[in-house]
Structure formats: structure tokens, C-alpha cells
Amino acid sequence: MTTAVALFIRAVMHGRDGFVPAVLVAALEGTGAGAVRTHLTTGNVTLVTTDVDAVVDVAERSIREMAGDRHEVFVRTRDELDGLLAADPFAGAPPGFGAGGEVTFARSPLPPLDLPITSPRGDHVVFAATRRELFTATRVVDGHTSGPGGRLERLVDQPLTTRGLGTVERVAASLRSLPDRPGGRIGVGD
């Protein structure tokens, strides 16, 4: 079955640790994936594939060869991201936090958590969760804000990756524009 997917790659940015998006795009195209495109100079990739497992294996191996260490890949289908956004999880954000926020992705189901989880500085609060996502509202405190990443990884005992809501919305919009079958080359994008 052909699937349009987003790959959210943990701790990877263009030019960091030897990561070259064009090398990753070529490796993914080698799996038979089509319409492969990187987004926003970070570890966000959209593509169409008939073999998600092969795509993940190749992405992780390719990044390990470039960067020298492991960077986990978190996959969401077009339907999963559309469903996540349609549920409008940030409508339930606590008062006093901005309209945007962050989405944290897990590869495996998350354990039950006692929410909300507020940072010691009060600059972010994890206020909602699904089976494999956590939602964090943020605000500036003393000129700074922080993300929940490391703290949440310790709580759930698994690697996670976090993206801003705007990034997730742009990646989802890109997925909606993809063809329903592999084929075609798009490459390094926005």
C-alpha cells in the first residue's frame, strides 16, 4: 500500500554534525520512495512510499553515516497528522500561554502521565497527550522559554522529538500536496 508520510528526525539540523539533506534525499529515493522533500532546514522530510520500514531503516543508517551517531526517525502518515490537527489540541491550552505550542512525538505508545506537567520556571506546560504525542504550551519568562524534551524523555523512558505547531502544520500541508504513488523527484525544499 502506498502511504504519504512525514519523517521527524530527532536532533538533526542542516549543516549540523555533517548532516547534508541532499544525501538523505538520495538515500531515501534509493528505497523507491517518491516526492522526497526536506523542510525548514531541520530533520523534517515528506515522501510517498510503499515500504515505511525500509525508509526508516535507510534514513537512520544514512544519518548515522553522515553524523556518526544515532538519530531516531518518528513517522506519521498524512491521515495521522491531519487527524492530530483536526482535533485542535491547543484549544485546551492553559490560560496565560501563547496560541501556538509544541508537539512532541514518540515512536511507541506513551505510558500514562499525570498531566499537566509544568516546568520549574513556569515557561512551559505539557497539558495534553494522545497515544504517541504530547502537547506543550509555552510562554516567555524572564526573556526566555524552554522546551520539554529531555525532561519528558526521562519521564516516558524513550526517545522523543519535538516540533513547533507551525512546523507540524506546514509539514501536514506538504503531505496533502503529495501524489498517491511513489515517483517523481522533488528534493531539498523549504
Mean pLDDT by groups of 10 residues along the chain of 190 residues: 92 71 89 89 88 94 84 95 96 83 96 94 93 94 82 93 94 90 50
Containing 28, the helix (H) or strand (E) segment is helix 21-29
Calculate ∠ Cα 110-112-118, nearest 5°: 95
The two beta strands, 187-188 and 34-39, are: parallel
- Among 52, 70, 54, smallest CA distance to 12 is for 70
Which residue shows C-alpha cell 526517545? 159
CA–CA distance from 31 to each of 9, 67, 136, 171 (Å)?
17, 20, 35, 21
CA–CA distance from 107 to each of 7, 8, 74, 99, 131 (Å)?
11, 10, 6, 26, 10
> Which CB contacts under 8 angstroms, 24+ apart, belong to 146-149?
146/119, 146/121, 147/102, 148/102, 148/104, 148/117, 148/119, 148/124, 149/104
170 exposure class (CB count in 10 Å sphere: 0-12, 13-18, 19+): middle
Q: If DSSP codes are grouped into helix, strand and coil, which group holds residue 139? A: coil
- Whether 106 and 156 have beta carbons less than 8 Å apart is answered as yes
pLDDT at position 12 is: 76
Residues in the chain, overall count: 190
| Domains of the chain listed by start with CATH number | 3-80 (3.30.70.1280), 82-169 (no CATH)
pLDDT at position 186 is: 46
Reported pTM? 0.89
